[in-house]
Chain A
């Protein structure tokens, strides 16, 4: 094989690799973010997982939260339902939590407190408050709308061995951050890293997807970490026993299930 032939082959291969990337590069930043939000928060028709959260404070103390999470995407664009059953810690065991999430308006949220058999509606306008005391916010758990932020594609680069889009996003309304920089996997579409910065440009929180697995044909972040740099603490979250597309029924996401959680989640 002569040198020219080799050179042609290399060039052809390079072009073949580069062409789709070039085509993707023209994808508007908002579309990339939309696709990433769908991949991260809305894969499959529905999903069930056992979530283990480990909250590590600055003093090295650890708190654990164990819950079963069900999620269903409703037919209407972007509407979702979440159901959570807490296994631990002991004083919240049996507590259930239901979220009806709507694009463009506040969620409906209900909590059931088993000790007094009470279902209570809770205010949901503060999406940036902490989820069960962790470094993740409600919004980090159930997602945001693409229109909640403006997006700019900064560049493409590898993060480790994964090719990524690097996107800068700024919240449209009031938020506890001024800028979010995300590294979105160009092929799997899940975010691999997110850096949150305040108005002075100081980094406040860093999200990393530590383990990404393909489960039932869906790329899934099986282990994630949120570092809170301001407080010097972090939270590690594991998604275990992930199952997609079980055809979860609407009945699982009702007040009845809050009071009578099915055996499959307990």
Chain B
């Protein structure tokens, strides 16, 4: 991290004379964002009560480029007050410098990278995400967390290549008991979470190659990374005193395709998640290697309305080894976990009103999440959104079933400038 900031600062200083000659583009927004739990959950010490989110923030954006566009920079910094945690802070969302040549470009610093063709289903996008933000009705941009990274883009004639090097591990902000109401499989035991240092062996790298064949966009992906949600194990199987949370090694290999089909857009994506620390599939705590695949189609229904559907499967490899090592009394996952998603978007009143209904349907685990939302751009600067996150699930150990007590309605009021 320190290394990166230092590198970015040096690069920025080197670029400053070139960049200073061009105009700085300033902007940002002021925003208030609230989510109220409507499932009437019990209040727990150290956990949330009925207010899941009460966030006031100002985001300041600055970007600039040299006159010829060969260098540039961008920064996005949030100042916020969190009324739930009663704390204010500064959050550097993004800050990077760019060097751009005819056939290559380099971006160094904190940056958001998004890969893949899925709609809220990520099989090759292994970059960090904030699921708490997503589940509590924060704007979509807060689902993505910036990576401290160096990204190199190469543009030889035949294809485009993108290489992302991330020396510092960044975990997802996965649901935790201090932010959301979660069932606790190990009540009373403290969590000890692995802290990965910035050593060479903890470095991560990701590669994407893409090109067009006819008008279909094709990509290949590979990454050497870590699971960003922790594996959990007890410090002692017989007399546990703590739950150890750690982030196992993960290698991924995948591909995607997207293009026009019968008046709509079709998307296909798949990846092998090769679990580096559980090659035989016999460590219950660590996810087995898994194949993840999705097929999606979006189609314009009528004026200003679009329907999107996706089918998605996670297919666990070495399933018999997993079954054999699953401890008695623990929930057992299915070999194939099927999920479908639907999205209906309707724009109204000169596209100033956006109605959206997104749903995850857990076909195998009989759980799901329905997200209705309505956004109104009252002026070119002021927008208001109201929505809800409604979870359901038969069992409290499934992805959405675990969040059964976190049904919430949220609102976002934003003034952009």
Contacts and interface: CB of A to CB of B under 8 A. Distances in A.
A91 B377 contact: yes
Contacts of A133: 347, 350-352
Contacts of A10: none
Given A118-B114, A133-B347, A176-B303, 17 more contacts: A57-B350, A64-B380, A93-B25, A108-B215, A115-B139, A123-B300, A126-B300, A126-B303, A129-B300, A129-B303, A130-B350, A255-B210, A255-B217, A262-B69, A263-B67, A264-B69, A266-B65
A117 B66 CA distance: 21
21 contacts: A63-B352, A63-B379, A89-B380, A90-B29, A100-B215, A116-B114, A116-B141, A117-B113, A121-B259, A121-B267, A125-B263, A129-B300, A129-B303, A130-B304, A133-B347, A133-B352, A233-B350, A256-B153, A260-B98, A263-B67, A263-B69
A124 interface: yes
Interface in A198-229: none
Contacts of B111: 117
Nearest to B259: A121
Given A90-B417, A123-B300, A256-B155, A117 B114 contact: yes
Contacts, number: 105
A9 interface: no
Contacts of A118: 114
Contacts of A124: 260
Contacts of B298: 122-123
A243 interface: no
Interface of B: 22, 25, 27, 29, 65-69, 72, 98, 100, 105, 111-114, 117, 139-141, 143-144, 153, 155, 160, 210, 215, 217, 258-260, 263-265, 267, 298-300, 303-304, 306, 347, 350-352, 377, 379-381, 383, 414, 416-417
A148 interface: no
Contacts of B304: 129-130
Contact of B381 (A89, A121, A262, A266): A89
B112 A116 contact: yes
A121 B350 contact: no
B22 A263 contact: yes
Contacts of A122: 265, 298
Contact of A123 (B215, B217, B299): B299
Interface in A102-146: 106, 108, 115-118, 121-126, 128-130, 132-134
Given A90-B416, A91-B414, A266-B25, A117 B144 contact: yes
Contacts of A130: 304, 350-351
Contacts of B113: 117
A242 interface: no
Given A133-B352, A256-B153, A91 B383 contact: yes
Nearest to B304: A129
A115 B141 contact: yes
Contacts of A266: 25, 65
Contacts of B65: 263, 266
A55 interface: yes
A263 B155 CA distance: 18
Contacts of B351: 130, 132-133
A97 to B, nearest CB: 14
B59 to A, nearest CB: 10
B144 A116 contact: yes
B209 to A, nearest CB: 13
B25 A89 contact: no
A63 B350 CA distance: 10
